[in-house]
Structure 1
């Protein structure tokens, strides 16, 4: 029924009813609207977790030393960035797929002291990366190997970047986990590298590796639709997956929900607009994937936000000595 017809009949029926005398009924009380449950407030993190996040941000920053135009990482584990903070690490492999294959870069390192295999994914650094970030195409997501993800779609550029990376590092990691049973897989990523780390984590979780996986991302964009976000949330909890966001960073708000993209949960939020941040500035978000108390509640602004996307405990993406990095203080190695 058309809306205009419905309104006309409704008005007519009300007029007819008013012409028929009837006793005046006692007025009924209007039902009180059910109050919406309050959004849980974020909670403060511990000093130990703050130090851990700081150290992991240094590990992901080291990935920016890898690439065609960068200085690189040398054996055993030296570079112009924070390599000196991790004297016990041993470099296993670096990769750089090149500009024609999504320009995915990163490294694998071994940490015998705490039994970790570290995989760091570099963020957006080139025009090819920028185009991949801004591509809005989605395609069906088929999890590895036989898990069900009904209706899941993911960002085609992110999936392509992971596909090219997996060809290089998948076999290497499988061999390492056989050689070092009981080691934890520590995945870190920033920006585009954060989105690739998410896909890598889901892939690795589906393999029969019997390895604990922990993922920490910085400035992660939305990777797929609501079904995909729910699938990721079911695979990981907020101790095995930590999605760190920042008040001035627009990237976690992209691509927009109106285009079919949704974020997963497990968010930790930095509320300080400028460096340095302190433990009081970092909270664990408790209101779900789109917690209005965290980055989802901030205003989107692409302009003047470059530093917001780079400033995660220090300035990421420079591969420069610590005194040039824009961060005061340092963390100890985990």
Structure 2
């Protein structure tokens, strides 16, 4: 994955609003939730591997060795997509019979530097909820992939009605996953759980609070990863709540005690506390090297 341009990041973050922190809601997570995070993160990592984006009907695997939980599960992709939309939304839908999951995973940007330099921070109307505008680029990415993803989920749920639908993604993929999970829930799918890693904000409070209220959302951040601080608060963007903030260093194993939970759509207690202090490597390390396959 291309390295972020520090000057571009600082220019974008220089507009951060000086908002008052939300009430602190800090608590460590359980060992069982940590295990779920590890599995979801590895499915997000798998979306970076080209073999999971161009060969439907095969097992999900990571040639880089960074998704062992996925590698050892019994999986089969029902649809894989890459370069099939104007926005190049990339990922797969898979069935995991080991963990009783229907997995929808979206790849992050090929070049985060280009994404930050060229992203359109404007908003557009969405169909997620009435009066809920969202980030134009992220919404268009989901809107174009929807005709591929939804039929695959429909078929998978028909075949496995008791399976949970796990929607995940890293970085840009996390932003697309936000819209995908919300849309699937609105379409009547039950037991849809959203896990994002290093995802940016996707819209103003009307949209973010609506997705928060749907429940079953796990937004994971890491140290001073710059991406979750974009688009900035003073642009009118806020986050889905709660935030699960990893405080451990890069390149070390994450324990349950390393993750604290913070509530509020604009809390400044987790990742946002870093202000203009950024570390690109913090964006690339979520339980392991999440984009190693790229």
User: Which range, TM-score by smaller chain?
Assistant: 0.7 to 0.9
Q: Distance in 1 between matches of 2:160 and 2:117?
A: 35
Q: Distance in 2 between matches of 1:275 and 1:300?
A: 22
Q: Does 1:77 align with 2:60?
A: yes
- Residue aligning to 2:286: 312
CA distance 1:82–1:94, change in 2 (3 Å): farther
Report deviation, 1:262.
1.3
- Residue aligning to 1:300: 276
CA distance 1:84–1:250, change in 2 (3 Å): closer
1:1-334 to structure 2, matched below 5 A, reads 39-66=23-50, 75-80=58-63, 81-82=65-66, 84-86=68-70, 87=72, 88-98=74-84, 101-126=86-111, 130=115, 134-143=119-128, 148-150=129-131, 152-209=132-189, 211-236=190-215, 240-276=216-252, 277-285=254-262, 287-301=263-277, 305-319=279-293
> In 1, are the aligned partners of 2:57 and 2:78 still within 8 Å (CA)?
no
> In 2, are the aligned partners of 1:132 and 1:158 still within 8 Å (CA)?
no
Higher relative contact order (CA closer than 8 Å, sequence separation 6+): 2
Give the TM-score normalised by the residue count of structure 1.
0.74
CA distance 1:78–1:272, change in 2 (3 Å): closer
Gaps of 5+ in 1: 1-35, 321-334
Q: How many residue pairs were aligned?
A: 271
Gaps of 5+ in 2: 1-19
What does the per-residue CA deviation read over 1:55-110, in whole Å, with 9 as the maximum and x for residues that have no partner?
22111111100389x99788233440445533312222211135x61121111111
Give the TM-score normalised by the residue count of structure 2.
0.83
Q: Distance in 2 between matches of 1:221 and 1:116?
A: 25
Which is greater in Rg? 1
Report deviation, 1:168.
1.3
Q: Cα RMSD over matched residues?
A: 2.7
Report deviation, 1:300.
2.6
> In 2, are the aligned partners of 1:220 and 1:251 still within 8 Å (CA)?
yes
